Amino acid sequence: MDAKVDGVDGFEAIRQQVENGFMPLHVYNDQQVFDAELRKIFAKTWNFLGHESEIPQPGDYVTRFIGPDSFIVSRAEDGQIRALFNACTHRGMQVCNNEGGNTQEFLCPYHGWVYDSAGELRGVPHQRDIYGAEGFDRSQNGLINIRLANFDGMLFGCMDPEAESFEEYLGDFAWYLQLITRRSGAGLKVMGAPQRWVANADWKLGYDNFVGDGYHTIVSHQSALEGGALPFEGAEFLKYGIQINAGKGGLGLAEVPPVEGGGWPAEIFAGIEQRLTPEQGLIYGMGGGPVYLPGHGGLFPNFSFLNAASALEIGGPPIPYLTFRVWRPIAPGRVEIWSWCLVEADGPPEFQEASYRGYALSFGASGVLEQDDTENWTSISLVAKGQMAHQLALNYTMGMKSGVEPLADWPGPGTAYPTDYLEENSRKFYQQWITYLMA
């Protein structure tokens, strides 16, 4: 970043452009922006780490990341889940170098310090001889715990001891996340480990796309329609959808295709009126209106979800599936994509498998939709590295002058608009982004 946009003055210039609906292109591949993002966003916010169903038993753990920082998300013998900084307190070596499993202890291979699954330091070879009988307090040398929040099974971690609570951070967006987490009384469970792959693309582009880009579907994903994975007449359904921003998140709703119950087995919804408010129930047609898929959305800074549907045969009915995402920043213009598939834990096994297979056909690195998404984001990030990227501010003004007005009678919190062809959620994302960078 050159001098005129460096530091606070530079961010002020970006802030003014964002305020006017424009986004300087270079921010998608810029070392100084990236360094500031790690320090001022990822170190300060609540980040999605995984789902409790990934570690159901005492001793289960998975290894997760916030940017470059590694954490062991562990369920200890007491049943409690913790997020432990994956670094030996002696020399900083990772005490876990695999993706997950079940263990009673994490052994540092350098000098043999041993931690239990709660992160307590349990053993130091030759401790008494080398530190003295009173010279070393193991209880003060355990793995660092970061703050962890469990929202209906969704695990979020925060590295900043001073940041607001997760509940405050989540704010009004809880109302919308519950539509997904409380659809079934048993909640959600993961289908295996998340897929992971890397792309030369900026982390913000994936989030931006999932939170607010209903507009790209018809062009980017035309081939999924032509192949039959998207079993619809056209891909403009999101034009007639609803876009909402609430708290630190946003989402888009699309009316589900006219199939019984939106394609979910009816038993999943049993007793849902006990779990959702009547206002939330309206989204699922409980007032007699249309049924909506809480289709695509995200929570700042880099958690996304997609609740869409895929056919499993040409001409077949749409099967709903759910994916959670983390767009893990690796380097300027480089992201590691984490993609979970989740199902209702008490759904019929045949539906769970069909839902997973629809996900695997449509999303992930080989997905007939997603393979075209990463193509777009890679190209943008390549262009963003050049000098001309400092001259081009991208047009994010969709809906600012079209006359679109918020829905006056919307039953939920936040602000809802009667179309999902709108860049309001993207603008809100970048406003939050620049606010954190300038804090």
* Min separation Cβ 13 and another protein, Å: 31
Q: Give, for 297, the enclosing helix (H) or strand (E).
A: strand 292-299
Tokens of 191: 């289908």
Which residues lie near another protein (CB under 8 A)? 97-103, 191-201, 219-220, 222-224, 226-229, 311-314, 316, 336, 341, 353, 356-357, 360-361, 364-366, 368, 370-372, 374-376, 378
Q: State how far the Cα of 38 lies from the Cα of 24, in Å rounded to an integer.
A: 19
Is 373 part of the annotated catalytic residue set?
Answer: yes
* Min separation Cβ 298 and another protein, Å: 20
Question: 7 or 386, CB closer to another protein?
Answer: 386
Question: 329 or 364, CB closer to another protein?
Answer: 364
> CB count, 10 Å around CB of 234?
11
Could you say which of 51, 213, 296, 420 is catalytic?
213
Q: Among 2, 303, 327, which residue's Cα sits nearest to residue 14?
A: 2
Q: State how far the Cα of 116 lies from the Cα of 109, in Å rounded to an integer.
A: 15
Between the alpha carbon of residue 369 and those of residues 197, 217, 224, 300, 339, the distances in Å are 15, 9, 6, 24, 14
Question: 18 or 199, CB closer to another protein?
Answer: 199
Is 221 part of the annotated catalytic residue set?
Answer: yes
* Min separation Cβ 313 and another protein, Å: 4
* Min separation Cβ 103 and another protein, Å: 7
Distance of CA 74 to the CA centre of its chain: 20
What are phi and psi for residue 335, nearest 5 degrees? -130, 145
Could you say which of 69, 90, 152, 216 is catalytic?
216
Is 409 part of the annotated catalytic residue set?
Answer: no
Q: State how far the Cα of 124 lies from the Cα of 132, in Å rounded to an integer.
A: 12
Is 296 part of the annotated catalytic residue set?
Answer: no
Q: Among 194, 195, 180, 192, which residue's Cα sits nearest to residue 344?
A: 180
Question: 11 or 113, CB closer to another protein?
Answer: 113
* Min separation Cβ 53 and another protein, Å: 12
Q: State how far the Cα of 199 lies from the Cα of 18, in Å rounded to an integer.
A: 26
Question: 79 or 315, CB closer to another protein?
Answer: 315
Is 30 part of the annotated catalytic residue set?
Answer: no
> What amino acid positions are annotated as catalytic residues?
111, 213, 216, 221, 373
